[in-house]
Amino acid sequence: MNAPTAAPKAQFKQRVFSGIQPSGSLHLGNYLGAIVKFVELQKSHDCIYCVVDLHAITVWQDPAELPVAIRDVTACYLAAGIDPKKHIVFNQSQVAEHAELAWVFNCVARLGWLNRMTQFKEKAGKDRENVSVGLFAYPTLMAADILLYRATHVPVGEDQKQHLELSRDIAQKFNNDFGKSIAAHGHGDVFFPQPEPLIQGPATRVMSLRDGTKKMSKSDPSDQSRINMTDDADTIALKIRRAKTDPEALPSEEKGLEHRPEADNLVSIYAALADISKADALKQHGGAQFSAFKAALTELAVSKLQPIGSEVNRLMQDPAHIDAVLADGAERAQQIATETMKAVKDIVGLVRR
């Protein structure tokens, strides 16, 4: 993966923040779109990786299942190779400042900005009057997650791009609205950085195995549409074998994938898992029939995912260990969050203890 380029404003320390919702089992899209990059960025940056449980409860979550889902995302982070000692791993609800800053941002963001969010429109569907207020305000909480740590880089999949743009708008409006106060409190010209989305590589949008025009998603009712991080080798093999394709052989060049969404998706997944470009994947497999390509893809997917899946299962046997990791991470995250919130309160003009 390319290292992040153009550094934002010089006064901001480079810091990575990202999060995943504990709202169902993690899948290959989460892994290739986000987690692989989280792991890579540890080499070059200070990183904060969050399990965003407050985002998850914007839609109904069974209270008996939510703690398991929170630990499951944490286990996935650890099993994939995130080091919770060198970096920070925690769940959002343990650091109350996320909700506190989100409220301030609710007063900065404009209704019209949130009305334009396509993910809200998709999730709310026709039943807009009946969804939670939290689901609508969700992107202001996401901006708070990032800006609480004044993070400069945010690795995400393609579907989060618009939310990242909104975070940048909120940061900018806050800096503008409170410009004088920011300077008066000794913070220079701007208080919040403009967080850069990092959306890179061949698998920024992994599609459903059943329909190459739909995103692979935790909420798809068909389990056959996705590969879960804890699927065993036989299940992975079966899902890939059943994945929708077309009757043609694979092309030798990327252009040949145009208008072939399912072929494009499988080649993208292969390239991302092998850490090569799509062009290189096609150099290796161009001309192959899907039966042969699917066998190669299965072998690759199993070799990459199975060690992670079994480590997740092992870690999940010891919830106390996972909870200790989260508590330690929350404590360290809160130290940064407390400082930001003190400054924000001063800047906004709220009297504090």
Interface residues with ligand TYM (CB under 6 A) are 17-21, 29-30, 33-34, 52, 55, 142, 145-146, 154, 156-157, 159-160, 163, 204-206, 215-216
Between 205 and 321, whose beta carbon lies closer to ligand TYM? 205
**Residue number with CB closer to ligand TYM (123 or 321):** 123
Is 244 noted as a catalytic residue in this protein? no
Q: Least distance from C-beta 305 to ligand TYM, angstroms?
A: 15
Q: Active site residue: 123, 161, 173, 345, which one?
A: 123
Between vectors from CA 56 to CA 107 and to CA 320, what angle results, nearest 5°? Answer: 120
Side-chain-side CA neighbours of 330 within 13 Å: the count stands at 18
Q: How far is the CB of 292 from ligand TYM (least distance, A)?
A: 25
Q: Is 17 helix (H, G, I), strand (E, B) or coil?
A: strand
Task: Enter the DSSP assignment of 259.
Answer: T
Q: Residue 199 or residue 302: which is nearer to ligand TYM going by CB?
A: 199
Tell me whether residue 216 or residue 257 sits nearer to ligand TYM (CB atom). 216
Q: Which of 161, 173, 218, 244 is catalytic?
A: 218
Q: Is 215 a catalytic residue?
A: yes
Q: How far is the CB of 180 from ligand TYM (least distance, A)?
A: 29
Catalytic site residue 173? no
Q: How far is the CB of 349 from ligand TYM (least distance, A)?
A: 27
> Is residue 55 a contact partner of residue 92, using CB atoms and an 8 Å limit?
yes
- What CA–CA distance (Å, rounded) separates 40 from 275? 12
- Coil, strand or helix at 309: helix
Q: Looking at 13, 37, 86, 215, which residue is catalytic?
A: 215
- CA distances 268 to 20, 80, 204, 296, 340, Å, are 22, 20, 9, 13, 40
Distance CA 342, CA 29 (A): 37
Active site residues: 123, 215, 218
